């Protein structure tokens, strides 16, 4: 990565305030969001995941008109 590309990444981090000192902790998040994150992590650990291609296929199947 060139210095110019690296600088762009640093600028974006500063612009959007995603430096480590601005990170949220679970205590700072809404309780419903914490539960959803825990559920998502549990599903991932159990292998209940699918690829982007599978997700797009499901989306197309749901939204296609017959």
Length of the chain: 66
Concatenated DSSP letters of the chain:
--HHHHHHHHHHHHHHT-SGGG---GGGS-HHHHHHHHHHHHHHHTT----HHHHHHHHHHHH---
Residue 13 has pLDDT above 70, yes or no: no
In a domain, 40, yes or no: yes
Our count of domains for the chain comes to: 1
Residue 51 lies in a domain: yes
If pLDDT is split at 50, 70 and 90, which confidence band does 25 have?
A: confident
Contact 49, 43 (CB under 8 A): yes
**32 found inside a domain:** yes
Q: Residue 2 falls within a domain, yes or no? A: no
Is residue 44 situated within a structural domain? yes
* Short-list 39, 23, 19, CA closest to 31: 39
39 within some domain: yes
Q: Is 0.85 surpassed by the pTM of this model? A: no
């Amino acid at each position: 990565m060139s210095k110019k590309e690296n600088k762009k990444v640093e600028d974006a981090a500063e612009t959007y305030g995603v430096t480590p000192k601005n990170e949220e902790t679970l205590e700072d998040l809404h309780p419903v969001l914490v539960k959803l994150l825990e559920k998502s992590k549990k599903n991932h650990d159990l292998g209940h995941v699918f690829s982007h291609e599978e997700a797009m296929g499901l989306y197309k199947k749901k939204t296609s008109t017959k």
